[in-house]
Structure 1
Amino acid sequence: MADNPRNTINIISPFPLDPSYVRVVGITNDYYIESLSSKVPSSLLPPSTLFPNATFPVDVSVATVGEKIVGPLSTGSLRLASPADVRDNPVVRFNYFEDPVDLARCVSGMRKIGEVLKTESMDRFKLRGLLGGEGFVYFGAPFPVNPSDDLSMEVFCKTTVETFWHYHGGCLVGKVVDGDLRVMGINALRVVDGSTFNRSPGTNPQATVMMMARYMGLKMLQQRSPSK
């Protein structure tokens, strides 16, 4: 099974932003770039010269730009934690960036995000420092100072990786389920979700999963209805 790694840059906005899901997407052959905005309670911010008292009851707007690599080529494993108790969560390992191609795609995508940060459109998100000059204030890991350095970019990808919650490949057709998504060797059980995918489609597989579920639901009703 596999999971698409997620790497993001989170910028504290100097002006309020309405929370939003992904609205803007950049699509390439190797990665997708997505942007969204959110509100973060100030209590979660580390104390700094900008926010010396991180306990005041104010929500801070955060602009997020992230990437999802295509694939991935790296695969992991899923095994039962208990052979008898189904309440025990299975042991899952995704092995993010085990394949060097995935890591190279992450580096390429983050460099593209670095180019976006240098555009005039992003200047309004910069804050003036106490000693003069302007720059981004990051919530979490800052963007690498030298994006041309392969090693620093690779380290950034590995240390900031998170899940996109687009797990897939755990119940592949022909291995776990048949062509009608029936679990092989078991009666009256089907799996209709992203675990049957070889790869996670597009920026988000939700629409594909919903379409597949409707298709299989209609097919099951047709199979169960008396033939005319």
Structure 2
Amino acid sequence: MYDYIIVGAGSAGCVLAARLSEDPDVRVLLIEAGPADDAQEIHVPAAFAKLFRTKYDWDYLSEPEPGLEGRRRYLPRGRMLGGSSSMNAMIYIRGNRRDYDSWAAAGADGWAWNDVLPYFLRSENHHAGASAWHGAGGPLPVNPGRSRNPLVDAFLAAAQEAGHPFNPDFNGPEQDGVGYYELTQHDGLRCSTAVAYLRPAIERPNLSVLTGVQCTRVLLDGERAVGVEVDRDGATQELRCEREVVLSAGAYNSPQLLMLSGIGVADELAALGITPKVNLPVGENLQDHPHLAVVHLTDAESLLTAETPENLRLLETEGRGPLTSNAGEGGGFFRTADGLDAPDVQIHAVPAMFHQEGLGAATDHAFHIGAVLLAPTSRGKVTLRSTLPSAKPRILHNYLSTAEDRATAVRALRLVMEIVGQPALSKYRRADFLTPQSDSDADLLAYARRELQTLYHPTSTCAIGPVVDPELRVHGVVGLRVVDASVMPTVVRGNTNAPTIMIAERAADLIRGAVPADV
């Protein structure tokens, strides 16, 4: 018997397990379906794409996407301790303050920018020390990257030639501009939430961690969650708790578990033979950051040759060099239309031949400039494929399903091509590898429909308001919360790992009934 059972040891789950187990009088169980984070490729930053379609990846695939002419898209998600923080590009971005203020304005009380900033600061150990914008002494190291490829320098110079200002800190007073990304790394190695939060807490006698154990449903006694059912070594087992069950399984798996437990759209559950217990729009409102990139061949050194004995020695002895690269070393935030109150496009500059959704082989030196739609208006849905918990859910993102997103995609690609065409970067172009046929609207949209992929930021399928209340409690169920990116009412403008960690930090206070942190 435990006090709290947390399902999913990812970006949020590791934070919650560490924070809740700070109280020696509570018993915390953390359950992870995947293995421990013990592969070298997890910790070497430049190697993260080698984890795709391995045992460390849930390896999802979207349904045929109508906006992409029926193409399906690969959707990797971390399946190990640390979750996707063990398989991401480590970019530390909080989003824009307008994101959080809009959440609060829509009814998410306590989630405005001034409410959440203290939790960002609490989590952070910033290389420059404490300030109005950054925290020091927190579990999560935030440091400059230790790989500065000249191709990324050239991108930043080209962006400034095109009229975009340099921004030394995307998490400071202004988000707009171009610069180098700060990363969740320590001594050049990945610092996932498993490393930053769970590892220091794992020896506590009141914290238990199970790996290789898949949760199959939440156990309900009337209107109260009393535990979970799991598949452990092929056998079904029930695990009970006295206080709360917390789902931190991510924007695809948390809704799947709720639906398997009878919490979801009643008619859809009944059609599958599941007795509906609470009628909620679980799985709806799915959002993501669509990603559009161009790739050019170059004669300059790229990450193609990163894996040399010399670079391995650099990593092991000095914690620097190409193997510390997070791929997207630099980039920026842009407004591509008049009248916008915040950026609508983000760019990642990658000194490598990153193509075919990260699954294509790198065969030549190249650079990849990718644009992201930061505030998409398209909405997708996660539904059950089967009542078998082992069945992968149906995931439809509905990419480019709105006129607004199609127009933004065209502007985003045009922005990328304009920057690539500046003298500082164009001199590195040997040949086109993956580019639109022309800069006409029709060709840019056709290219977007063909090449669009995820930037790995699914959110909002258990959103505050429709599915959970502002304290992240599932409507209609006592003792059940969701704490992960799925509770975001809308996806934030930027990479989602830091906001997910913030959500878990704040949720720990909500669960403990602590006084909210103050700026």
TM tier relative to shorter chain: 0.7 to 0.9
Supply the distance in 1 between the matched residues of 2:348 and 2:415 (Cα, whole angstroms): 12
What is the deviation of 1:79? 1.1
Supply the distance in 1 between the matched residues of 2:513 and 2:349 (Cα, whole angstroms): 42
2:361 aligned with 1:44, yes or no? yes
Alignment equivalent of 2:294, drawn from 6, 9, 27: 9
Query: Is contact 1:26-1:34 (8 Å) kept?
Result: no
Correspondence for 1:160: 451
2:376 aligned with 1:85, yes or no? no
What is the deviation of 1:187? 3.5
What is the deviation of 1:122? 1.1
Matching residue's letter, 1:38: A
Alignment equivalent of 2:375, drawn from 62, 65, 71: 71
**Secondary structure of 2:352 counterpart:** strand
What is the deviation of 1:107? 0.2
Q: Unpaired runs of 5+ in structure 2? A: 1-285, 303-321, 336-342, 355-359, 515-519
Structure 1 pair 37/112, CA: closer, same or farther in 2 (3 Å)?
same
Per-residue CA distance 1:80-100 (angstroms, 9 max, x = gap): 112x32221211111111101
Q: What is the number of equivalent residue pairs in this alignment?
A: 195
% identity of equivalent residues: 21
Per-residue CA distance 1:193-226 (angstroms, 9 max, x = gap): 1111122212202111111111111332346xxx
Supply the distance in 2 between the matched residues of 1:60 and 1:6 (Cα, whole angstroms): 22
Query: Is contact 1:72-1:199 (8 Å) kept?
Result: no
Measured on the aligned residues, the alpha-carbon RMSD in Å equals 2.1
2:348 aligned with 1:34, yes or no? yes
**Secondary structure of 2:505 counterpart:** helix
**Secondary structure of 1:25 counterpart:** strand
Matching residue's letter, 2:370: G
Supply the distance in 1 between the matched residues of 2:333 and 2:375 (Cα, whole angstroms): 16
Correspondence for 1:53: none
Supply the distance in 2 between the matched residues of 1:14 and 1:94 (Cα, whole angstroms): 37
**Secondary structure of 1:144 counterpart:** coil
Query: Is contact 1:31-1:69 (8 Å) kept?
Result: yes
Query: Is contact 2:375-2:493 (8 Å) kept?
Result: no
Matching residue's letter, 2:301: P
**Secondary structure of 2:349 counterpart:** strand
Query: Is contact 2:346-2:374 (8 Å) kept?
Result: yes
TM value normalised by structure 1: 0.77
TM value normalised by structure 2: 0.36
Could you tell which deviates more after superposition, 24-33 or 190-199? 24-33
Query: Is contact 1:4-1:167 (8 Å) kept?
Result: yes
What is the deviation of 1:74? 0.9
Matching residue's letter, 1:2: Q
Correspondence for 1:112: 415
**Secondary structure of 1:68 counterpart:** strand
Query: Is contact 2:287-2:379 (8 Å) kept?
Result: yes
Supply the distance in 2 between the matched residues of 1:166 and 1:186 (Cα, whole angstroms): 27
Correspondence for 1:62: 366
**Secondary structure of 2:426 counterpart:** helix
Query: Is contact 2:465-2:489 (8 Å) kept?
Result: no
Correspondence for 1:96: 399
What is the deviation of 1:166? 1.0
What is the deviation of 1:170? 0.4
Query: Is contact 2:349-2:370 (8 Å) kept?
Result: yes
Matching residue's letter, 1:185: G
Correspondence for 2:328: 21
What is the deviation of 1:39? 6.4
Supply the distance in 2 between the matched residues of 1:123 and 1:68 (Cα, whole angstroms): 21
Query: Is contact 2:330-2:350 (8 Å) kept?
Result: yes
Query: Is contact 2:378-2:402 (8 Å) kept?
Result: yes
Per-residue CA distance 1:18-50 (angstroms, 9 max, x = gap): 44334221322332222122367xx936xxxxx
Ranges of 4+ aligned residues in structure 1 off by more than 6 Å: none
Supply the distance in 2 between the matched residues of 1:181 and 1:170 (Cα, whole angstroms): 13
